[in-house]
Chain A
Amino acid sequence: MDLSVRIGSLVLKNPLIAASGCFGYGVEYADVVDLSSLGALVTKGLFLQAREGHPSPRIVETPAGMLNAIGLQGIGARRFVEDKLPELRARRATVIVNVCGTTLDEYAEVSRILSDAEGVAAIELNISCPNIKEGGIQFGCSLNGTDDVVRAVRKVTRLPIIPKLTPNVADVASFARAAEEAGADAVSLVNTFLAMVIDIETRRPKISNGLGGLSGPAIRPIAVRMVHECRQTVKIPILGMGGIADARDALEFIIAGANAVQVGTASFVDPFIWSKLLDGIGDYMQRHHVARVADLVGTVVRGLKAEG
């Protein structure tokens, strides 16, 4: 059974990826998960400098989901390379670094620092965080901005570039196309949906930032639709995500058009989810006589089932 996934020059051993912002820097999970068993892990978003993020409370639960506004707390690119990357290398993790910036220069500079470091497999460009004013989203909500960021980073790295797209736009597929035309090797989608929860007793938002990003099973059908639309629009690999909680959900994304899937919120609930997902995908492939997971990508069947 071939579970491998190709993203530009990078080959993942399986399609399961820990999503950015949901897995710390990976090292936090080293006692719980064999990091080398994952297709890849995506780090928390990194700017050039350290950031403290928003005050508590930073999350609130909603039916089948959660809102977060962490505010991209992070240690900065250089400290990541010094403090976290050596352990990730030692544990043979495939590391995709989520790169943030407030300017094109910052995206390029962070990407250059990470490209020079040993042990970074790819760069995911955070152009879609809904929770901070000055970082990323202004690029990710404009086709020109998306084009600019990808081209700026393309100039400084040979690593695969994977812009992470926001669902908070009218037509996600047009952003996937802009990324592809600018030279991206793949796209990740979707980031969280901008949302709000209010405490009716105090009439205050339940998280400190006011607004936050909705994730979890509540968003899954919308995310599947967006992956499907992007699959019909671009040829580059898609890293699909949005509320995946079991192997069936992962397969749904793959069939919709994702080459690999990212899992975030569900690994909060079950940090041991990874082997269960892998087993479930394997069982499905056996049951359906699918030899390569790549053969499942974008195989939605149209129309009603024929009789007989």
Chain B
Amino acid sequence: MIESISAFFDAAAAAIPLLCVTMAALVVLLAEAFLKKGETMPMAPLGLIGLAGAAMASMLLWGRTPAPESFGVVTADNFAVFVNLVIVAVGVLTIVFSEQTIERDRLPAGEYYAMVLFAIVGMMLMAQATDLLLIFLALETMSIAVYVLTGMRRDQQTSTEAAFKYFLLGAFASSFFLYGIAFLYGVTGTTHIDEMSTRIAAQSMSGNPMILLGIGLLIVGFAFKIAAVPFHMWSPDAYEGAPAVVTGFMSTGVKAAAIAAFVRVFLKGLDPMIADWAPIIWWIAALTMIVGTVVGVAQTSLKRMLAYSSIAHGGYLLAGLVSGNEVGKAAILFYLAAYALTNLGAFGIIALLGSRERANDDLRDYAGLWHTHPALAGLMTFFLLSLGGFPPTAGFIAKWYIFSAAIGSGYYGLAIIGVLSSVVSVFFYLRIVVMMYMTDRDARPVPPPVPRLAMAGLALAMIGVLYLGVLPSRLIELAQQSIGTIF
């Protein structure tokens, strides 16, 4: 008995982080089912325990050589562990910021947390999967949970509309993705990423139309998930319609997971074809950066503004992918961590300022916030400066790292587009700062005070952003070690 259990754990070692979160999700779901009417139970701690378990398991899996692999399709190499930890951080912050939203909007707590946790399982699996089919399954697990979260406020039209749009377009994208897998399987005879790489390299398939078609379809699928132009149309609506904290979760977690899988598939499985796909991604990256920032300037809803800003940030991540060098891969990981903390912090603040009557997410609602909520205004400014890439924040180091990668591969054009678009983005980040600090409050109701726990979460995110901005070398080293083992 014991032997068989330990044998199981040996075989499934790489999947333990996933198991922890899945268990937590199931417990939450069951607990909700067995609660009597009117009875309440704190669900958030259950989720946090699951995430803590996942974080611990991931850390124990760090640095093993050879990387633990379970069932032939789930790996726990350093790359996956790194992304897992970023996703855990996203999950923890999301749960901490959620409590107020759930109470305010009377969301079903059990379902909400279960969906968040299931989405996290999907995200982690995307980072850990080494087989295209499993990546597809992970993608669907994550996506379905997120569709539900987007439409959680069933009494609100915008929320339902957003969820429906997101679902419909997402389903299309998924089928494109699946179609792409089919083509690649047809040409190479495998769906396993490592296998695929060796077979493509061995047969020098560059220029084969079938494989190009497959790559193109995969790009569509991934580009949709990270909201890259021209597949970004869904994201402003979905981001605006979803509760702010869910938006924060989507814009960081989904993006991190999709980018992780994107990197693994393209820089590992399809690396021999880099000359074929790099120009396509170059254009997508450039367009994403430009459209995200330029359209963001015209927004007056804070959520929509930050939705476009997340689109632009997806473009920076793709710039790291295009460069395809060692620096770029590590830069993507660093960027994911920095961006996750920063963006969740910003969305957390938006979520916390909402009240039952109104979302308070219009630009005008932030007028004079400095006078009513000085700490929140300060934190928001800090996160916005990080998003804009000012030192001494994580956002600056992350951007420098990405552009360094692009320049190292000779993509000066992409780097110049990147830095100039970040100047444009500073314009709209500063509009929010102008509102908070330099405009007087009009007659609108003052947003509610912020609960302690959420404040602690924000402070934690801020400390993280500052730490990564001032002393980034530790995380840079970890990112470098993460890519060393697999690529």
Do chains A and B interact in one complex? Answer: no
Binding site for B on A (CB under 8 A): none
B interface residue numbers (CB < 8 A to A) = none
